[in-house]
Amino acid sequence: MSDVASVSTRLAATGTANALELRGVSKMFGALAALSDVAITVHPGERRAVLGSNGAGKTTLFNCITGDFPPTSGSIRFFGEDITAFPPHERIRRGLRRTYQISLLFTGLSVLDNVYLACRGVSRGRFSFIRPRRSDALMASAENLVEIVHLHDVRDSTVSELSYGQQRQLEIAMALAGAPRFILFDEPAAGLSPTERRELVDILTGLPSHMGYIIIEHDMDVALRVAESVTMMHNGRIFKEGKPAEIEDDPEVQALYLGVNDG
């Protein structure tokens, strides 16, 4: 807690904008408060894990940040810019990315086409009527991303033919398209085999250091290895924030989350 606080005062003093700054964010679904008065500050390059039981509001938090479902009240700043009222595509074009818990892929298109669409989405020529050649710069960066997530062997396969784990990897490749400044990973390890988990940890820890992210993860082994700070959520509120070790040792957290899950 103290470290996070000191980093935050240091950055405030130098005037550097935070990667992400949420103030008083609430999201109501009818009478149900999925998020109430959430405040989170993440610094550029910081890697944060969000933990919490089902229904704690983790995915709703992501949906508010990306604009999939805009918040009912509160403000969201992305690198100093108020993006609260922006439509999703404008936020993405500013360098925000996300993956989805349930893969939202274009199942009728090939792996390479999926990644190419992601690369094209954050660059010019979205409306181009000219077919890309294989020598196209964006096609090359799409090939490169396919390589990074170890999907090169299946790059021309239709997405519906991929295994579940491969689809999760493709999700990540699409989130890395363009020049992301900050990424939201929604349970990327869910349903992966132990080997695939190790690959995932390698991919995440191998990201360039300026690329911060928030990761929602139930698997503490994964979460604590890829994050340098942890936010605990409970019933739509921020419950605890701190370094992974502090959170792990916190008796309240253990009672609420670890104790319940680990039995």
Partner 1 sequence: MAVFETRWQPARPAGGWREWVEKIPIGYWAVGIILLIMPAGASDFVLFQIFGWTFILGMIALSLMLLGGYGGMVSLAQMSVAGVAGYMVAILGDSAITDISQGWPWFVAIPLALVIAVLFATVTGWLAVRTEGIYTIMITLAIAAAFFYFCRQNYTVFNGFSGFNGVLPPKLFGVDWRGPKAFYYLTLFWAAVSYFAVVYLSRAPFGLALQGVRDNPRRMAALGYDVTAHRVAAYAFAAIPAGIGGILLTWQSAQISPGTVGIGPAIDVLVIAVIGGMRRPVGAFIGAFIYVLFKTFALDVLVALGLSGERFQLLIGLGFLLIVFFSPDGLLGLWDRWQTSLRRDPLTGGERGAP
| Ranges within 73-102 binding partner 1 (CB under 8 A) | 87-89, 92-93, 98, 100
Number of residues that bind partner 1 (CB under 8 A): 41
Residue 116 contacts partner 1 per CB under 8 A: yes
Residue in the block written with tokens 């408060």:
33
CB 112 within 8 A of CB 105: no
CB 215 within 8 A of CB 50: yes
| Ranges within 17-46 binding partner 1 (CB under 8 A) | none
Least Cβ distance, residue 232 to partner 1 (angstroms): 26
CB 52 within 8 A of CB 234: yes
Residue 106 contacts partner 1 per CB under 8 A: yes
Residue 121 contacts partner 1 per CB under 8 A: yes
Q: Nearer to partner 1 by C-beta: 132 or 258?
A: 132
- Residue 240 phi, psi (nearest 5): -155, 150
Residue 144 contacts partner 1 per CB under 8 A: yes
Q: Nearer to partner 1 by C-beta: 4 or 172?
A: 172
Give the DSSP H or E segment for 19. none
| Ranges within 156-175 binding partner 1 (CB under 8 A) | 174
Residue 128 contacts partner 1 per CB under 8 A: yes
Residue 210 contacts partner 1 per CB under 8 A: no
Q: How far apart are CA 253 and CA 230, in angstroms?
A: 11
Residue 252 contacts partner 1 per CB under 8 A: no
Please identify which residue in 9, 15, 129, 195 interacts with partner 1, judged by CB under 8 A.
129
In sequence order, what DSSP letters do the residues of 122-166 get, joined into one string? TSS-TT--SPPPTT-HHHHHHHHHHHHTT-GGGTTSBGGGS-HHH
Torsion of CA 125, 130, 134, 138, to 10 degrees: 0
CB 59 within 8 A of CB 216: yes
| Ranges within 47-66 binding partner 1 (CB under 8 A) | 66
| Stretch of 15-23, 129-137, 189-197, 203-211 contacting partner 1, by CB under 8 A | 129-137
| Stretch of 73-81, 139-147, 200-208, 217-225 contacting partner 1, by CB under 8 A | 139-147
Largest CA distance in the chain: 60
Residue in the block written with tokens 């996070």:
4
**HSE (CB half, 13 Å, CA atoms) of 145?**
27
Q: Nearer to partner 1 by C-beta: 159 or 253?
A: 159
In the complex, which residues of this chain contact partner 1 (CB under 8 A)?
66-68, 87-89, 92-93, 98, 100, 104-109, 113, 116-118, 120-122, 125-135, 143-144, 147, 152, 174, 177-178
